[in-house]
Chain A
Amino acid sequence: MNRFFKGAACGLALLIHQSFPAFAEDVTLNAIFMKQAAYSEDDTKAMAKTFEAANPGLKVNLEFVPYEALHDKIVAAQGAGSSGYDVVLFDVIWPPEFATKGFLQDVTARVPKTDRDKVFDGAWTTVDYDGKIWGMPWILDTKYLFYNQDMLKQAGISAPPKTFEELAEQAKIIKDKGIVKFPIVWSWSQAEALICDYTSMVGGAKGSFTQDGKLSFDTGGSVEAVNYMKKTLDDGVTNPNSREYLEEDVRKVFSAGEAAFAMNWTYMFNMANDPKESKVAGKIGIVPAPGFKGKAEASAINGSMGLGISAGSKHPDEAWKFITFMTSQETQNKYAKLSLPIWKSSYDDPAVTKGQEKLIDAAKVSLGVMFARPMTPSYPELSSILQKNIQQVLLGQASTDDAMTAATKAAGRLR
């Protein structure tokens, strides 16, 4: 009998505990992150563990998905009516859509005004839309030009390219000397990665995505960028497999010593320098992505990402606490090997710069010239249109003019 009462009491307590969240001590936050590029899964898990240790009663449930599935997962989880995730990692291209469709909570009031000057402007563009702030920047990232120092030396090239034209010339020398069959590798698969390389080049040609307030891709920088991509394929200096590669494939090819040049995100620098991951460790050079001759000294794509509170979250305060921790200068300085901090002063902190001085030097230039992809609530659809049409050029199915005119026309019809 005694035992029965004890059991019943326990059961009742459990029931009360579960049905009145106010009584609950433990809050579990569901957070969605991505698998590739920037902070590794291990780093993110380690950060969350530190956060949990410092905040008893708060638990963080981490989920990692490939970047290609991130947008759709966030949207589907909320569209399905469940509260879904509390904390979401979002890309710089999504806030217009997420804000207008109500997927994110407005956190303008939560961001300390004093932080605005301490963080790079490029990072803020990741979370700013319509005069409000929709999260906190976490990954400040852009694509750099990586090169294999040994291969350049072997080819008698004294300095890495400063323009895209020079890049093609140097690659030709390396190819002709038989050092490597296809000197440059890019991520030109039918995916966002292709648009990132393209945008960087449009920025490097001082182009623009709009004309008279309308989306436009069939003149100036856009055409110059796509023509350049196609020409490097035709000349055999770009690895033709680039057309099916994502960033991780680029890293593998470059790390295997099968390319002299590669465009990739920050994370590749320390991974390609890790002997466990790479055959070319210690030979990695990094410079800002070049610009086109006479147009720009360097180019960069704004590939930053932020952390936000999803609209359906029942624990916004706890979620913000977690976001504040993840984006804090202390946390970011500690894990600055695969992704660089959003905080300006970190770049002069020896703890951050030590061992990756070359990366920091390149970052100081690149972060200042970051070029943004078109800001529109229909960005995912616009991106699909561009991906398809640019790929048609790269595959020789259409001329640059035809494809980019078609893209502009399709962009004008966006619903």
Chain B
Amino acid sequence: MAPAQQDRTAWLLLTPMISIMVLVTAFPLLNTLWLAFTDASLTGQGYVWQWIGLENFAYILDDSDFRAAVGRTTYFTVLSVSAEVVLGVLVALLLNQEFKGRTLVRALLILPWALPTIVNAVMWRLIYNPEYGSLNALLTQIGLLDAYRSWLGDPATAMNMVILADIWKNYPLIALIALAALQTVPKDLYEAAIMDGANAWTRFWKITLPGIIGSLSVAMVLRAIEAFKVFDIFYVMTRGGPADSTKTVSFFVYQESFTYLRAGSGAAYALTVTAMSGLMISIYVVMLVRREKRS
């Protein structure tokens, strides 16, 4: 087959896929883009709208509650992703050792990650319950806490408690990726290092970490993008409360569109959030390109 003809066949074969992509991705995206410049509101008969230009975005920039939510969401993202990375790598190192029952433990590791977020959130709500939650029971029995307390009802702890629940659910993903990367680190490097008298600490920083950092950073960026648009775990655990202390940026998108029925400004909030994740996505792309060049 001539190259030109080959190209044509390739495009022909790709057509169904491309049209599906356009239908499910491009169309809603363009629709959202258009909505963001209108004052469209959701009604029983669909949208009622008027073109209002940049007014929605001006409102968002002026919205101090939204700015606070950006800070909150960033806090959530940074804290949960970094904790997940540390925990994930530690667990991966452990599971990379030879020991009895390793396969079983490796299989068990996936469980939290395989759990639907909603189930995870409901489960942690029970653990944190102020009257009969197991966390309160544990902490009072070992003497760390004098009396049962309300973890999700206190603005000082609510956010961190949700972060803990999120870490428990998502660190296995990082652990799995780190584990896979660990297996590609050549064993003879370690043997040579031991011969040279390097201790475990040095071996980790000089051999292990450089060996897995590539895969790890990709996993990190992916998790960060996901964490930034977090919604479900908060919706179930705190609904944004107490006193808005756990209201993340995605809540604004949801509330504007479905609770206040302002599809137009909801779309503008959505685009703003997308632009912020876009920043992280570009970091991801740059990293992918660099890796590609290296290999």
Number of interface residues of B (CB under 8 A): 28
Partner of A79, one of B155, B242, B255, B263: B263
Question: At the interface with chain B, which of A101-109, A218-226, A267-275, A283-291?
Answer: A101-109
How many inter-chain contacts with C-beta < 8 Å in the A-B complex?
92
Given A71-B259, A102-B44, A243-B150, A388–B244 Cβ distance below 8 Å? yes
Residues of A within 8 A of B242 (CB): 189-190, 243-244, 391, 395
The reply on B214 being an interface residue by CB < 8 A is: no
Q: Which of A73-110 contact B (CB under 8 A)?
A: 75-76, 78-79, 81, 97-98, 101-104
Contact with B along A243-276 (1 / 0, CB 8 A): 1110000001100101000000000000000000
Residues of A within 8 A of B239 (CB): 68, 189-191
Residues of A within 8 A of B261 (CB): 75, 79, 97, 101
Residues of A within 8 A of B232 (CB): none
Which residue of chain B has its CB nearest to the CB of A245? B153
Number of interface residues of A (CB under 8 A): 41
Give the 5 A-B CB pairs with smallest separation, nearest first. Answer: A190-B241, A244-B153, A102-B44, A311-B44, A391-B243
Contact with A along B242-260 (1 / 0, CB 8 A): 1110000000001100111
Taking Cβ atoms with an 8 Å cutoff, the residues of A that contact B are 68, 71-72, 75-76, 78-79, 81, 97-98, 101-104, 189-191, 240-241, 243-245, 252-253, 256, 258, 310-312, 378, 380-381, 384, 387-388, 391-392, 394-395, 397, 415
Report which residue of A98, A103, A243, A256 has the largest number of chain B beta carbons within 10 angstroms of its beta carbon: A243
Whole-angstrom distance from the CB of B142 to the nearest CB of chain A?
22
Which residue of chain B has its CB nearest to the CB of A84? B44
Within the assembled complex, what's the spacing in Å between the Cα atoms of A133 and B260?
Answer: 23
**Contact, CB under 8 Å: B43 / A101:** yes
**Contact, CB under 8 Å: B260 / A79:** no
The reply on B169 being an interface residue by CB < 8 A is: no
The reply on B152 being an interface residue by CB < 8 A is: yes
Residues of A within 8 A of B143 (CB): none
Given A79-B263, A381-B260, A392–B243 Cβ distance below 8 Å? yes
Residues of A within 8 A of B155 (CB): 395, 397
Which residue of chain B has its CB nearest to the CB of A381? B260
Within the assembled complex, what's the spacing in Å between the Cα atoms of A237 and B45?
Answer: 50
**Contact, CB under 8 Å: B131 / A240:** no
**Contact, CB under 8 Å: A244 / B44:** no
Residues of A within 8 A of B150 (CB): 240-241, 243-244
**Contact, CB under 8 Å: A240 / B45:** no
Given A81-B46, A103-B44, A104-B44, A253–B131 Cβ distance below 8 Å? yes
Whole-angstrom distance from the CB of B133 to the nearest CB of chain A?
10
**Contact, CB under 8 Å: B153 / A240:** yes
**Contact, CB under 8 Å: A72 / B259:** yes
